[in-house]
Amino acid sequence: MPVIKASERYNCQVLCLNRKILIIRPKMCLANDGNYRELRWFTAWKQRDQLIDFQLPPQISKAIGQNSVPFGYGFVKFQDTAIADEICEELFTPTPPHSELALNGVEVFMNASGSHHQLRKLDVCLRAFIGATHTRGGVYIYSNHQGCDGSRLYYDGCASVVVNGDVVAQGSQFSLKDVEVVVAQIDLDVVASLRGSLSSFQEQASCKTKVPSVEVPYSLCLPFNLKTRLSLPLKIKYHTPEEEIAFGPGCWLWDYLRRSGASGFLLPLSGGADSSSVAAIVGCMCQLVVKEIANGDEQVKADAIRIGNYKDGQYPTDSREFAKRIFYTVFMGSENSSEMTRSRAKVLADEIGSWHLDVSIDVVVSAFLSLFQTLTGKRPRYKVDGGSNVENLSLQNIQARIRMVLAFMLASLLPWVHSKPGFYLVLGSSNVDEGLRGYLTKYDCSSADINPIGSISKQDLRAFLRWAAIHLGYSSLADIEAAPPTAELEPIRSNYSQLDEVDMGMTYEELSIYGRLRKIFRCGPVSMFQNLCYRWGARLTPSQVAEKVKHFFKYYSINRHKMTVLTPSYHAESYSPEDNRFDLRQFLYNARWPYQFRKIDELVNELDVKDVKDSGDHEAVAATSDGVGGMGVAAAGSGNPNVGF
């Protein structure tokens, strides 16, 4: 709850009991990096040594019959235990509050959090709860938002209760439910027992810094009763990355759909890995909706009836039938499209149940080229037909941008054509690696209303396709995953076929490595070169590594401007280049990187000289060995650092 005290605004938790406010606890450490900008709205509470008397606003004071309340950092001392708040980010700070609160006798820690989903991140959170109570004892109660927050983030729930380092209750990570409650029966005596057995804890508690408290004449614990069944430690439930890609974006899409007022989605489906991944995620969403309705969720049922335009008491019972009502897929082929991708798109659409269209855009492309020829007297040609790089790129961009315009037109008019209410949201399908490299046309089919895979790597998507082919029942995804990635924007010839990795001059695997080094390890060109020399030194020379790093940074910097108009994407990856909030950087670079590239060249020269010297030392030792027999062995065994034995 935002609370204004004097002229400052604080982000607070309010603890209540029986219509009375016990304490207002302001947040002391604000999240101000990555996806979060709390300092835009709040200030951090800095007075840790006292609770102050806070005058409640008149309307609240009148409603609850209470004029003032303790405000600040402290805990609540009941007759039989002590409870304290730890607010979200505070858990992950170098000196989290639970450390000194435990020494002050607090046994139960409550963390009301806003923690977003990210692939492979859940373990980090759970290890934090476990670590908070494993070495100092205690009960950690974690609650979290679940669902789309109205932007790029999906909060992944997983409410948990941890006792002395053991998880005894865990909620779902992905769910369509609006509210989920997790309950555990615990014995607080185990906390006191563990703390009493730890000599170091006892010693530190005896000289602790005192934390203010509020005494409440109330008991929380129940007396000993054999009918009470204590919650036992359980095996932690982790989803695989492939399941996370299916369920996280699937739940996010459902929340976005039901809250936006839209009637469904439209996806340009090329038959390639990326658009097929998006289609599979929408199919997964439809399966989740039908399953939740079957489980008795009335809210999901009401939303599905409204969105699917069901009448006369009908509601979704089959995911394919539901998809037919809310999901359009469109294959926008050209003379450069192959029959294989056209066929794959149709088969996948049939498996999911979408309303599928097959459209040729050649007549529109020809009209644009004829107009250009009328204006200039020239007609561009593809590179394989003798055209220049400029002509070749322009011809590809024309196709890509026509598809974007057609997609938005169909999304707005197809519901009208089929006498359906509302509008459809256009789904994008570019992945995080393409965004990082800039391997996309500005304002092509990567431009959409939302993109569920925009921060997921190509490698993870291909693993997801293999998983979805089996577990979602869309078997055609196996063939789609096995096909080499291609944009199909250039003519296919007997001696030429366009391939993504050839066009980019790097593999998707390399792009993932570049992305993690750039964002997670904060590497510029020079430090990335040094890191990759260690990583790739066994198979590449320093000069080869240098060329790869230069090539990446050249195209990263040339295309960085595209990130400013990137379609809002589900945040799932820690190296996302999304410019709106997560990866705030300039978008105009000197693409020649003169200082950095010169420094790399100097390092390459130094390494080459050292290699030559090392080679000479090796030959000298070998010659000595030949001349004096056993002395050469002794020299090698002495550990000469310049000898590569």
Amino acid at 113: S
| 530 and 496 part of one domain | no
Q: Read off the DSSP letter of residue 451.
A: B
Q: Which of 502, 526, 542 is the last residue of a domain?
A: 502
Q: Mean per-residue pLDDT for 520-547?
A: 95
| 496 and 510 part of one domain | no
d(CA 320, CA 307): 15
d(CA 404, CA 364): 13
Residue 462 has which token pair? 């291909």
**Can you give the residue range of the structural domain that contains 88?**
2-215
Angle 295-296-302 (CA atoms, 0-180°, nearest 5)?
Answer: 125
pLDDT classification of 489: cutoffs 50, 70, 90: confident
| 514 and 492 part of one domain | no
Report yes or no on 631 lying in a domain.
Answer: no
Q: Mean per-residue pLDDT for 241-254?
A: 97
High-pLDDT (> 70) share of the chain, %: 94
Q: Which of 215, 231, 265 is the last residue of a domain?
A: 215
d(CA 56, CA 274): 54
Angle 455-457-460 (CA atoms, 0-180°, nearest 5)?
Answer: 125
Report yes or no on 44 lying in a domain.
Answer: yes
Residue 599 has which token pair? 């420094």
Q: Is the pLDDT score of 216 beyond 80?
A: yes
| 477 and 552 part of one domain | no
How many residues belong to the chain?
645
| 528 and 539 part of one domain | yes
Residues 505-527: tens digit of each pLDDT = 888 899 999 999 999 999 999 99
| 412 and 524 part of one domain | no
High-pLDDT (> 90) share of the chain, %: 78
Q: Could you give the strand order of the β-sheet that contains 166-170, starting from the edge strand earlier in sequence?
A: 166-170, 160-163, 139-144, 108-113, 82-85, 75-77, 213-215
Residues 593-632: tens digit of each pLDDT = 999 999 999 999 998 777 666 666 555 444 444 443 343 4
DSSP annotation string for 291-319: HHHHTT-HHHHHHHHHHHT--TT-----H
Amino acid at 240: T
603, exposed or middle or buried, with CB in 10 Å at 0-12, 13-18, 19+? middle
Residues 19-44: tens digit of each pLDDT = 999 999 999 999 998 889 999 999 99
| 529 and 463 part of one domain | no
Contacts for 459 with CB less than 8 Å, ≥ 6 apart: 508, 509, 512
Predicted pLDDT at 636: 39
Quote the number of domains for the chain.
Answer: 3
d(CA 129, CA 163): 9
Report yes or no on 615 lying in a domain.
Answer: no
Report yes or no on 252 lying in a domain.
Answer: yes
pLDDT classification of 504: cutoffs 50, 70, 90: confident
Nearest Cα neighbor of 464 from 259, 623, 627, 283 is 283
Q: Mean per-residue pLDDT for 205-218?
A: 94
Residue indicated by tokens 């959170």? 125
Q: Is the pLDDT score of 494 beyond 70?
A: no
Q: Could you give the strand order of the β-sheet that contains 424-426, starting from the edge strand earlier in sequence?
A: 355-360, 327-333, 264-268, 424-426
Predicted pLDDT at 225: 85
Residues 96-148: tens digit of each pLDDT = 999 999 999 999 999 999 999 999 999 999 999 999 999 899 999 999 999 99
Q: Mean per-residue pLDDT for 454-471?
A: 95
| 330 and 466 part of one domain | yes
| 469 and 516 part of one domain | no
Residue pair 299/178 in contact by the 8 Å Cβ criterion: yes
| 359 and 291 part of one domain | yes
Give the count of alpha carbons within 13 A of 352, CB side only. 33
Nearest Cα neighbor of 327 from 426, 474, 475, 251 is 426
Report yes or no on 621 lying in a domain.
Answer: no
Report yes or no on 106 lying in a domain.
Answer: yes
| 490 and 539 part of one domain | no
Residues 42-62: tens digit of each pLDDT = 999 999 999 999 999 999 999
| 288 and 381 part of one domain | yes
Residue 475 has which token pair? 């078997």
Report yes or no on 256 lying in a domain.
Answer: yes
Q: Which of 470, 502, 534 is the last residue of a domain?
A: 502
Nearest Cα neighbor of 282 from 306, 265, 263 is 265
What CATH code is carried by the domain that includes residue 53? 3.60.110.10
d(CA 620, CA 643): 10
For residue 13, the surrounding DSSP H or E stretch is strand 8-17
Q: Mean per-residue pLDDT for 254-268?
A: 95
Predicted pLDDT at 642: 35
Predicted pLDDT at 497: 72
Report yes or no on 235 lying in a domain.
Answer: no
Helices (H), 171-272: 189-197, 199-205, 241-260
What CATH code is carried by the domain that includes residue 435? 3.40.50.620
